[in-house]
């Protein structure tokens, strides 16, 4: 069931997402060769608690950390550890907040030092695909319009979209209906309506779209060991079109 949100509720979801955006921005500023992913996790948690907000992922389905840190061939749900970041890595930072009854959720992919041309192109293509998807998040459009916009941009660049994970509605729960695949057909799927709030999150692979989950039960990796990138925004559908609630300045 898709829950429509009032303008007042959208403001509350915006508040949670602004915390997410600000914290992601601060964590991005810490990214350098030599830092561990556990340090990033601890700092993200500290920043959230300082604001009186709750890290949304910690304890969610048993996930033990506040931040997801997915490096190189890790697609999503990479777990912070004593892994040391090295120049040439790319890292996806995925963070969520629960504040006064509402969730925020966003992700960015960040280069560590100098990275390959392929890594730059993969990251920029993924972010562009997210923005193309957001453009379609308009009342009267269909869910498939978002999915197709993402897929077309990714495949035109020679990359592939992950099938096994999807975006989602967000609000009083972290994951609400509808599920938002990053592949699909224009004109198909549910009709989009004013008051929907959608976490759109393309996960894009350099090679095959196939992924597997490691024995830790969380970390999703590409089966060919090639790179993966991930960007996510929480977006409200308003009378005036899509509004990005997790805008990072
Ligand atoms: N942004 C991700 C999602 O929407 C993060 C969830 S990680 C989890 O699924 F640990 F909370 F599951
Ligand atoms: Co999400």
Give the pTM. Answer: 0.98
pLDDT tens readout for residues 150-180? 999 999 999 999 999 999 999 999 999 999 9
- Report yes or no: 143 and 180 within 8 Å, Cβ to Cβ: yes
Residue 184 has pLDDT above 70, yes or no: yes
Ligand 1 atom at shortest distance from the alpha carbon of 57: 11
Architecture of domain 7-244: Alpha-Beta Complex (3.90)
How far apart (Å, rounded) are the C-alpha atoms in residues 204 and 227?
9
Residue 249 has pLDDT above 70, yes or no: no
Q: What integer pLDDT is reported at residue 69 of this predicted model?
A: 99
Residue 19 has pLDDT above 80, yes or no: yes
d(CA 8, CA 222) in angstroms, rounded, equals 40
pLDDT tens per residue, range 44-94: 999 999 999 999 999 999 999 999 999 999 999 999 999 999 999 999 999
Please give the number of the atom of ligand 1 that sits closest to the Cα of 232. 1
Burial of residue 146 (number of CB atoms within 10 Å: 0-12, 13-18, 19+) = buried
Any idea where the domains of the chain sit in the sequence?
A: 7-244
Please give the pLDDT value at position 247: 93
Q: Which residues pair with 69 in a beta bridge?
A: 93
Q: Any residues with Cβ below 6 Å from ligand 1, and which?
A: 57, 60-61, 63, 68, 77, 94, 105, 107, 168, 199, 232
Residue partners of 59: CB distance under 8 A and separation at least 6: none
* Strand arrangement, sheet containing 203-205: 160-161, 203-205, 228-230
Mutate to test the pocket of ligand 1, among 174, 176, 231 (most ligand atoms within 8 A of CB): 174
If you measure from the C-alpha of residue 105 to the centroid of ligand 1, how many angstroms do you get, rounded to a whole number? 8
Q: Residue 103: its pLDDT value, please? A: 98
User: Is residue 96 a contact partner of residue 103, using CB atoms and an 8 Å limit?
Assistant: yes
- Residue to mutate, 23, 59, 63, ligand 1, most ligand atoms under 8 Å from C-beta: 63
Cβ atoms of 202 and 230 within 8 Å: the answer is: yes
């Amino acid at each position: 069931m898709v829950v429509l949100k009032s303008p007042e509720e959208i403001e509350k979801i915006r508040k949670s997402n602004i915390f997410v955006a600000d914290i992601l921005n601060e964590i991005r500023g810490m990214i350098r060769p030599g830092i561990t992913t556990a340090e990033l996790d601890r700092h993200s948690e500290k920043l959230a608690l300082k604001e009186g907000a709750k890290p949304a992922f910690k304890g969610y389905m048993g996930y033990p950390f506040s931040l997801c840190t997915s490096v190189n061939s890790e697609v999503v749900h990479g777990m912070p550890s004593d892994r040391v970041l090295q120049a040439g890595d790319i890292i996806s930072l995925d963070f969520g907040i629960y504040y006064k009854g509402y969730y925020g959720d966003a992700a960015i992919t960040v280069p560590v030092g100098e990275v390959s041309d392929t890594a730059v192109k993969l990251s920029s293509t993924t972010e562009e695909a997210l923005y193309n998807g957001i453009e379609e998040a308009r009342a009267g459009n269909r869910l498939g319009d978002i999915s197709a916009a993402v897929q077309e941009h990714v495949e035109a660049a020679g990359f592939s979209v992950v099938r096994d994970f999807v975006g989602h509605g967000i609000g009083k729960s972290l994951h609400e209906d509808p599920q938002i695949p990053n592949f699909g057909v224009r004109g198909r799927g549910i009709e989009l309506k004013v008051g929907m709030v959608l976490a759109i999150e393309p996960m894009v692979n350099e090679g095959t779209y196939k992924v597997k989950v490691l024995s830790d039960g969380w970390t999703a990796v590409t089966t060919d060991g090639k790179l993966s990138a991930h960007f996510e925004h929480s977006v409200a559908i308003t009378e005036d079109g899509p509004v990005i609630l997790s805008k990072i300045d």
